[in-house]
Structure 1
C-alpha cells in the first residue's frame, strides 16, 4: 500500500485568488490572508494574481475564466455569504459552491473554498481573522497541499498541459 500526503509548499507555483467584494469588511481580510499565506509558503509575489468580482454569484465564472488561460496551478476562492431574511442565501451559497466544484473537476485544478457561509456577520468576522482564524489562510494552505500531494502521488502525470 502506498500512502501520500502533501505539504503546503509554494515554490514555482502560480496561483489566482478570486475574491468577492460583497461583504468587503470580511472579504478583504480573507483575500489578504490568502495572499500573505501563499507568499509566506514560497509563492513568488509576482506569481499571485487577485481577481475581485462583485459577489459570490460571480466567483465560479471568474474562476473558470482564469483557469481556462492555463496560467494557474490552483485557484483560491474567498467570499462571504451571510444568511438574511430571504432564501437568497441558499441559492447563492449552494450554486456558487457547486459552480466552483464544477470548475475544479472540469479543469482538474485545485479550487479551494474560502467562501464563508454563515448565519451572522459575527460568525463571518470570527472566520476572517477573528477567534476562528482566517479561512483565506486555510484555503491557500489547502491549495498548496493538494498541489504537492498531486506531485507526490502522480509524478509522471501532467494535468492541464497539452501534449507536445
Structure 2
C-alpha cells in the first residue's frame, strides 16, 4: 500500500480573524445563525476580538459586502449568514440563486474561504429548525466549513504539486 498524502483542516481557530456578514431580513432567525457561528468559532479557539460582525439589508447584498471584505484583507475567512423564506419573499428563487452564485463567485475570485450559512426554506418552521432546533444550526456549520477550508488552504501551501 503506497503512502497517500492527506491534507485535512484541523479545526483550530486560534490566531485567525473571521468576519461574519449577516442579513437583517428575517432577523429573528438570522440572530440564531450569528449566535451559532460565533459560539462555534469561540469554542474552537478564536478570540472574541478577532471576530467582526457586519450587517447588510438582505441576502442579495451578501456577495458585494463579502467581496469588499475579501479585497480589503486582514481577515482569514468570511461566514455569510441569512434567511430567505419562500412565503415571505416574493422573488424567492431569484434572490436565492443570485446570493448563492454571488458568494461562490467572490470566494473563487478572491481566494477567500467563505462559509455559506444562507438558509433558503419554504417555511418559517423549516428556517427555525435549521437555525438551532431540530436540524442543527446552519450558522455553526458555515463557520465550521470556513475554518476547515482556511486550514486546508494553509496545508496546501507547503505541498509540492
TM range (shorter): over 0.9
Tell me what 2:36 maps to: 33
**Is 1:92–2:95 an aligned residue pair?**
yes
Any idea what SS the aligned residue of 1:116 has? strand
Superposition TM-score, scaled by structure 2 size: 0.92
**Is 1:55–2:96 an aligned residue pair?**
no
Query: Cα–Cα, structure 1 residues 10 and 58, in superposed 2: closer, same or farther, change >3 Å?
Result: same
Stretches of structure 1 that go unaligned for 5 or more consecutive residues are 158-164
Residues in 1 aligned to 2:33 and 2:15: alpha-carbon distance in whole angstroms:
23
Stretches of structure 2 that go unaligned for 5 or more consecutive residues are none
Q: 1:107 aligns with which of 101, 107, 110?
A: 110
Give the C-alpha shift of residue 4 in structure 1: 1.8
Tell me what 2:128 maps to: 125
Please give the root-mean-square deviation of Cα atoms over the aligned residues, in Å.
Answer: 1.6
Please identify runs of 4+ aligned residues in structure 1 that moved more than 6 A.
none
Query: Cα–Cα, structure 1 residues 3 and 51, in superposed 2: closer, same or farther, change >3 Å?
Result: same
Give the C-alpha shift of residue 3 in structure 1: 2.2
Tell me what 1:77 maps to: 80
Residues in 1 aligned to 2:89 and 2:71: alpha-carbon distance in whole angstroms:
34
Give the C-alpha shift of residue 30 in structure 1: 0.2
Give the C-alpha shift of residue 86 in structure 1: 7.0
Tell me what 1:140 maps to: 143
Residues in 2 aligned to 1:69 and 1:5: alpha-carbon distance in whole angstroms:
27
